[in-house]
Structure 1
Amino acid sequence: MIATLAIILTFQLVGEIVAQALDLPLPGPVVGLLLLVGTCLARPALAQRIRPATLGLLQHLSLFFVPAGVGIVAHWDLLRDEGVGLALAVVGSTVLAIGAGALAFTAVARLTGSEDPSALKDGRDG
């Protein structure tokens, strides 16, 4: 299991190096995850090798929220002062994202000719 975790952390490190070297707008761990997924698709043996450790990590995923809770406590003064603005920004951006998704879905449905939801009941559209 330690070797598997070393593989995962190596991809995270490589992602961090690539993100910093290329000045990417993505965080290094995201780049590393994309590299890991691409490598697992190209080499299914790697996916099978890391599967037990990744399943173990997923079973304890709630532990990864502890640092976020610590961050909230550590920045409590900032949240107290700017909390209303942050809450409005989060709620507003969520509403805008849902609205944009609905509009995009409607536009694609119109372009593909499948506006009528009842037309999709039996697996046929339009």
Structure 2
Amino acid sequence: MDRVFGMAGLLGLWLLGEGISAHFGLPVPGSVIGLMLLFVILCLKGGIPTGVASASDSLLKYLAMLFVPAGVGIMVYGEVLLDVWLPTSVAVVLATLLTLGISATVMAVSIRLSRSREL
């Protein structure tokens, strides 16, 4: 029963995120807003409820299936992607470098904060 409540909670946060995104006309997908809400709730709670852990473990088993639509999209729109391969490649490389830079900065700040709290 924990898994059902956990899944209901995850779906509820997703729907809440979709509602916030639609209501305020945000350029951020509702699923991302829902994940941010989940992150905030988990931080405030200080742990992962068993229902959410159980539901997310069940979803992670099928994570590979979520890549099937992307693969089909590449197959269907292969010719279009060939026409725009350069801007797409540049965007992917820049986004990856930006993500790595931000992640490294956040990690460095986190380490610095945790060391200063220990002293």
Could you give the per-residue CA deviations for residues 1-40 of structure 1, whole angstroms, max 9, x where no partner exists?
4443232112111100001111223210011111122233
Tell me the residue number matched to 2:59. 57
Alignment of 1:1-126 (within 5 A): 1-43=3-45, 47-91=49-93, 93-94=94-95, 97=98, 101=101
Q: Percent identity between the aligned chains? A: 32
Gaps of 5+ in 1: 113-122
Residues 70-106 of structure 1, C-alpha deviations (whole Å, 9 max, x = no match): 2212322211211233123323x157537x939x96x
CA contact (8 A) 2:14 2:35 kept: yes
TM norm structure 1: 0.63
Distance (whole Å) between structure 2 residues aligned to residue 12 and residue 43 of structure 1: 19
Q: Would you identify which runs of 4 or more consecutive aligned residues in structure 1 move more than 6 Å?
A: none
Instruction: Give the deviation of 1:46 after TM superposition.
Output: 7.0
Count of residues paired in the alignment = 105
Q: Normalising to structure 2: TM-score of the pair?
A: 0.66
Name the CA shift for 1:17/1:84 in 2 (closer, same or farther; >3 Å).
Answer: same
Question: Structure 2: which 5+ residue stretches go unaligned?
Answer: none
Give the number of the structure with larger relative contact order, counting CA–CA contacts within 8 Å between residues 6 or more apart. 2
Considering only aligned residues, what root-mean-square deviation do their CA atoms show, in Å? 3.3
Instruction: Give the secondary-structure state (helix, strand or coil) at the position aligned to 1:64.
Output: helix
Larger gyration radius, structure 1 or structure 2 = 1
